[in-house]
Structure 1
C-alpha cells in the first residue's frame, strides 16, 4: 500500500495513495500503524481522500486499529472519506463507530482536543473525594 506521511507536532497525517484498500493489505497496514504507538507522537490522522473503495475486512480492521489507538491513549481520526465509500461504510454499520470527519483540518482539531483532554485527565488527582458529610 502506498502512503504519504506528513508529521506534525502532535500527530502524523497518513494519506493513502491507493484507490482501493483490500483485506489482504490490512495486515501490513495494521502492524505499520501500531508502530506509531511507540513514538513520542502517537496520534494519527488517516486521510482517505484518494480511496474510492474498501473491502469489508479492511474497513473492520480500520475500526479495530482505531479502537486499539484509543485504548492506548492515542487518537486515530479518519478524514476525507469519499461519498461512495462513506455510503458503503454506513451501510455496513461501521461509519457510526468510526471517529471520522469531513476534512483534514477538522481531524486535526479533534486530535488536539483529545490531547488536551488526556492532559487534563492525567493532571487529575486519582482517588480524590470530597467529604461532604456533616458532623452534628
Structure 2
C-alpha cells in the first residue's frame, strides 16, 4: 500500500494512494495512525483525494484515529472525501462524530481553530487560578 505523510508544524497529513479503503488497506493506515500518535502527533488529517470508496474497515480505521487524537488532546480530520464515502459516513451515523471537511485548506483551518481554542482555554484556566 502506498501513501504519503506530510508533516507540518501542528499536524500531519496522511494521503493514501489507493482507490479503496477496505480490510486490506485500512489496517496499514491504522498502524500508521498509531505510530504517529505514539510519536507525539495529536492532530492528524486523512486526505481521501485518491480514494473512490471505503467499507466498514475504513470507517473503523478513521474511528481509531479519532479516538487516538482525542485522547491526546488533539483533533482528527477527514478531508476530500467523495460523495460515495460521505454517504457511507452519513449512513453509519458518524457525521456528528468525525470531523469531515471538503478540502485540505479547511482541515488546516479547523486544526488551527481547535489549537487556538485549546490555548485560550489554557490561558483562561491559568488566569483564574
How many equivalent pairs are there?
Answer: 128
Contact 2:20 2:51 in 1 (8 A): yes
Report deviation, 1:89.
Answer: 2.0
Equivalents in 1 of 2:24, 2:121: separation in Å? 38
Contact 1:60 1:94 in 2 (8 A): no
Give the structure 1 partner of residue 33 of structure 2: 33
1:44-97 CA-to-partner distances (Å, cap 9, x unmatched) read 111001111111122123123212211211221110001121112212222332
TM-score, reference length from structure 1: 0.81
The runs of 5 or more residues in structure 2 that have no matched partner are none
CA RMSD of aligned residues (A): 2.0
Equivalents in 2 of 1:27, 1:5: separation in Å? 16
SS of aligned partner of 2:25 = helix
TM-score, reference length from structure 2: 0.85
Equivalents in 2 of 1:124, 1:96: separation in Å? 28
Equivalents in 2 of 1:97, 1:66: separation in Å? 9
Equivalents in 2 of 1:37, 1:95: separation in Å? 23
Contact 1:23 1:57 in 2 (8 A): yes
Equivalents in 1 of 2:94, 2:42: separation in Å? 23
Equivalents in 2 of 1:37, 1:6: separation in Å? 14
The runs of 5 or more residues in structure 1 that have no matched partner are 130-136
